[in-house]
Copies of this chain bind each other. A is one copy, B any other.
């Protein structure tokens, strides 16, 4: 189908955007299309790319807050996750997709269990997704073998879906939960098959200290020594890094997925943003899961990212609005290797329209500042992904059913 978004604000002036199939094929040129969207009073921005989340954790929203990380994980999150079925993950992910679409996100990178359910939900909701099944062996060779088999099966399954929006990636949980041998196996598979690799890295000071005791090395030099680092690796969190760690990551073109809201809520720490920027690392933005955020609003994550750096260094000039916006869009697209993150001809038609007629966006003097410091997900009016309309005038098809089913599934999960 062809779509024309007319009279829309783009980069400071009113123009039109023409979409043919899944691609933007013209700005301000063509005047006709099979479907026309009136963009008057709206601004077009690239759909956000959320590079680190655990979508189905929407079901755990408000379940365990204000707790120490270790208690939170071992006493609350893990025991409940162990009870989750594929059906739970399906509805949790549907709810996550709904929330992401309504707040202007078109692509997400997911780390969770029951991946086929995640892929099915993303497929149905029309979103672009990088899907992973978390790989964790805890040093147990038998578990490792089973995990490896599972990954190969899932890779095949996702490829058989043949959905251009859904990509399989590998997700070794963290350097301290996967054996070096299996990290090597993952690296080989990823290189051979051209896959992205998602991993948690240096989220807490404690995990680094324990790793050092075990391996007599910090995680980053260790990963370099075993040949694990590369341009296809995306490291979530990456807080507790030395300057040397950062320069090693940069040398190998490793990408960082920053999760400011989660890092603050869990009291984990502050991304060494200034040092990372100085080194030239690509940093993108994630919300993390709803148990540690507790929402999936990328507008909010941009504001938290920028303000956290400013107060941390007592310097309001750090991470100006534009940088936070790039993290949430073009850097995310580069990280996930999708041809999006910016609105111009030849790019994928992943587009969000922001309603400018809202008190928090008036006056509209500096749209970039308004987007990062004032806008919320609720300012989003219309969302296109891959040239399909996922939301128009604030409405997503089937949203009431998703809210009801997700509530039902969550209640059932808690009663088990």
Contacts and interface: CB of A to CB of B under 8 A. Distances in A.
A365 B265 contact: no
A41 B18 CA distance: 40
A311 B62 contact: no
Q: How many copies does the complex hold?
A: 2
A270 B313 CA distance: 11
Interface stretch (A43-51, A153-161, A168-176, A372-380): A372-380
A202 interface: no
Given A310-B266, A316-B267, A407-B362, A369 B321 contact: no
Interface string A281-302: 0000000001001111100100
Interface size class of A (residues with CB under 8 A): 35 or more
Instruction: Among A66, A95, A313, A411, find the residue whose CB has the most chain B CB atoms closer than 10 A.
Output: A66
A138 interface: no
Contacts of A369: 61-62, 65, 294
Given A102-B359, A267-B310, A295-B374, 9 more contacts: A61-B369, A66-B317, A265-B307, A270-B311, A300-B300, A308-B311, A360-B377, A363-B406, A363-B407
Contacts of A266: 310, 316
Contact of A68 (B270, B300, B304, B316): B316
A155 B64 CA distance: 49
B62 A359 contact: no
Contacts of A253: none
A-B complex: 4 closest residue pairs judged by Cβ atoms: A378-B378, A62-B366, A363-B410, A99-B359
A66 B310 CA distance: 9
A36 interface: no
A316 B66 contact: yes
Contacts of A265: 306-307, 310, 316, 373
A68 B318 CA distance: 10
A264 B320 contact: no
21 contacts: A58-B359, A61-B369, A65-B369, A67-B316, A99-B359, A263-B311, A264-B311, A265-B310, A266-B316, A267-B313, A267-B316, A269-B311, A293-B373, A295-B373, A297-B376, A308-B311, A357-B400, A359-B403, A362-B407, A376-B376, A377-B378
